[in-house]
C-alpha cells in the first residue's frame, strides 16, 4: 500500500544512507573556484540536476517499476565513466541498502544484497527501496533528483560557511525544474520497459567526472566524493 509518509522518510537527510559524507562534486568545484557563492551554487546544482540528476532519476524510476536490477546496474556503470564516481555510487548503494532492508524488509532488497555484495549503484537501490516502501516511480524519481542537488547544497554550506538560508533559497528556485526533470526521468523509465535500458537517458557532466578523479587523489578532503 502506497504511503506518502514513506517518501518523507526515504528523502529525509537524516535517513542513515551515508549521503552526508558526500558532496556530489561540490568540494572539487569549490576548490576549482566554480562555486563561490549562492548564485554559482545554484548554477552548479542546475547543471547537475539536468545531467547526473536526470540519469539517477530515470534509473530509480525504472527500478521502482520493476526493471531487472542487474541490467540497471550495468546501465548505471555505462553512464558513469569515472571510476571514482562508480566507487562512490556503489558505496552509497551499499549503505542505502542496509538502511532500506532494516526499514522496509523485502525479498527484492535481500536478493540485491546477495547479487551485489560490494553494492549496486545508489539510484538503482533507491528505486528498489521506494518499491519496497510502497512508493511509485514518480516518488523514486523525485527523491533521486532532489538528492542530486540537496547534497551539493548542504556540502557547500559547510565548505564555504555559506548562509544556509541562501542555499535553501537556491534549491527552492530550482524546484520547478526539479519537477520537470523528474517527469522526464519517469517517462524515460516507462519507455525502457518496452525498449530496454538503452532508452534511459545518458546525459553527462564531464567536469563532474574529471573533478571526481581529481578529488579522489587529494590526500586530505572533507567529503568522500
Digit-coded pLDDT (tens) for 131-182: 999 999 999 999 999 999 999 999 999 999 999 999 999 999 999 999 999 9
Backbone angles phi, psi at 13, to 5 degrees: -60, -15
Rounded CA separation 130/140 (Å): 6
Domain boundaries, the chain: 39-216
Rounded CA separation 38/165 (Å): 10
Digit-coded pLDDT (tens) for 196-219: 999 999 998 899 999 999 999 999
Cβ(71)–Cβ(192) under 8 Å?
no
Please report where in the chains the cell 528556485 appears, as a residue: 173
CB atoms within 10 A of CB 104: 19
- Which 8-state DSSP code applies to residue 197? G
Cβ(121)–Cβ(93) under 8 Å?
yes
Amino acid at each position: 500500500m502506497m504511503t506518502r509518509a514513506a517518501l518523507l522518510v526515504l528523502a529525509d537527510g537524516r535517513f542513515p544512507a551515508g549521503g552526508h559524507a558526500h558532496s556530489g562534486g561540490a568540494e572539487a568545484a569549490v576548490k576549482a573556484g566554480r562555486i563561490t557563492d549562492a548564485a554559482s551554487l545554484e548554477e552548479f546544482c542546475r547543471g547537475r540536476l539536468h545531467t547526473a540528476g536526470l540519469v539517477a532519476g530515470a534509473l530509480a524510476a525504472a527500478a521502482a517499476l520493476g526493471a531487472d536490477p542487474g541490467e540497471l546496474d550495468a546501465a548505471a556503470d555505462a553512464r558513469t565513466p569515472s571510476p571514482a564516481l562508480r566507487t562512490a555510487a556503489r558505496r552509497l548503494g551499499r549503505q542505502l541498502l542496509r538502511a532500506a532492508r532494516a526499514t522496509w524488509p523485502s525479498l527484492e532488497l535481500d536478493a540485491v544484497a546477495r547479487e551485489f555484495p560490494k553494492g549496486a549503484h545508489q539510484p538503482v537501490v533507491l528505486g528498489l527501496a521506494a518499491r519496497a516502501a510502497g512508493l511509485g516511480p514518480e516518488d523514486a524519481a523525485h527523491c533521486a533528483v532532489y538528492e542530486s542537488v540537496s547534497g551539493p547544497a548542504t556540502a557547500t554550506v559547510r565548505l564555504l560557511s555559506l548562509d544556509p538560508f541562501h542555499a535553501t533559497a537556491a534549491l527552492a528556485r530550482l524546484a520547478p525544474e526539479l519537477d520537470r526533470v523528474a517527469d522526464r526521468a519517469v517517462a524515460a523509465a516507462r519507455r525502457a520497459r518496452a525498449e530496454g535500458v538503452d532508452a534511459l537517458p545518458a546525459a553527462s557532466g564531464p567536469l563532474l567526472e574529471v573533478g571526481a578523479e581529481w578529488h579522489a587523489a587529494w590526500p586530505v578532503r572533507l567529503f568522500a566524493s
